[in-house]
Amino acid sequence: MSNEQHSPLGKAVSYTAEYDPSLLFPIPRSGKREEIGLGSTLPFMGVDIWNAYELSWLNMRGKPQVALARFEVPASSPNIIESKSFKLYLNSFNQTRLTNAEALAELLRHDLSDAAGATVHVELIDTSAFGKQKLAELDGYCIDNLDIDVETYTPAPGILHCDDADSPVNEILVSNLLKSNCLVTGQPDWASVQISYTGQPINRESLLRYLISFRNHNEFHEQCVERIFVDLMRSCAPLKLSVYARYTRRGGLDINPYRSNFNAPQPSNLRTARQ
C-alpha cells in the first residue's frame, strides 16, 4: 500500500466485471506531505472531489443501469486512492446485480471510506437528472494572457513574489495553463486552477511562471495542489488562501482537489469546458 509503483498504473490488467473491492489501491498521503515539509498538523482543510462518468451495474433482472457519481474524499484522510484502481473497482460493478441504486451507493460508501481511511461522501446522479448537469468556468481574473517569457518547467517556488502595497487585497486569480504528469506513468495531466487569497498582492507574472513550472513535474493531482498551497504560503504569506484545481478526465474519472486555510464555502462541482 505504501508504494505507488505496486499500483496497477502503467501495467496491463485484466478487467473484472464482478464486484471486487480488493481492486482499490490506497496510497498514504504522508510521504509526499513530508517531502514538502508538512507534519501531522496540516495548514489546510479541504476535499478531493471525484466525478465518475462510466458507472454501470445490473438490476436484479439483469438489465443494465447507468448513473453519474460524485465522491468527496476529505483531505484529512490518511490515504488517497490511486485513480486506475478506482476505475477498475467501478468497472467491477458492470456485471454485478444489485437491488437498487441505494445498494450500490452503500457499497461505494463503505469500500471507498475503508480505502481512504475516512468517511467518503457518495452521490449518485440518475439519468433523469442528466439534462440538469451544467458547464461553467472557474470564477476569477484569468492571468493567462500575460505576455511573459518562460524558461522553467520544474516547480520553482523561488519565482513567486508579492507586489508592495499599503494594505492587503482580496483577489481570485485563475489559470488554465497548469500541466503536470502522472507520478508513475509520466502521462500528462491537464488542469485549470483557481487561487483565492487575502494578503499582499501576489505578483501575477511570477504566479503564472510558477504554475507553468509544473509542466515537467511528476506528481499526483492532490499532491500538486498541496505543493502549490504550501509554496504560496511560504513565499507570499497570505492571511487567507484557497487553491482549487479542476483536472481533465481520464478513464471516466476527474479529480478536483481543494485546499483552504479558512472556512470558506466548499467550491462548486461544476464541470469546466475541458472536462
CATH number for the domain spanning 181: value is 3.30.1130.10
Q: Provide the domain count of the chain.
A: 2
Q: Whole-model pTM? A: 0.93
CA atoms within 13 A on the CB side of 82: 24
Give the model's pLDDT for residue 6: 53
Q: Clarify whether 189 is annotated catalytic.
A: yes
Among candidate residues 182, 224, 236, 254, the one labeled active-site is 182
pLDDT for 3: 57
User: Do residues 176 and 119 share a domain?
Assistant: no
Among 79, 101, 132, give the residue marking a domain's end: 132
- 127 and 156 together in one domain: no
Do both 125 and 154 map to the same domain? no
Cell 507534519 belongs to residue: 39
Tens digit of each residue's pLDDT, the chain (275 residues): 445 555 554 545 577 889 999 999 999 999 999 999 999 999 999 999 999 999 999 999 999 999 999 999 999 999 999 999 999 999 999 999 999 999 999 999 999 999 999 999 999 999 999 999 999 999 999 999 999 999 999 999 999 999 987 789 999 999 999 999 999 899 999 999 999 999 999 999 999 999 999 999 999 999 999 999 999 999 999 999 999 999 999 999 999 999 999 998 899 999 999 99
The answer on 128 and 8 residing in a single domain is: yes
Q: Which domain holds residue 113?
A: 4-132
pLDDT at position 165:
75
Catalytic: 231?
no
pLDDT at res. 12: 56
Q: Which of 111, 126, 164, 189 is catalytic?
A: 189
| Separation of alpha carbons 202 and 200, rounded Å | 6
**How confident is the model at residue 86, as a pLDDT?**
97
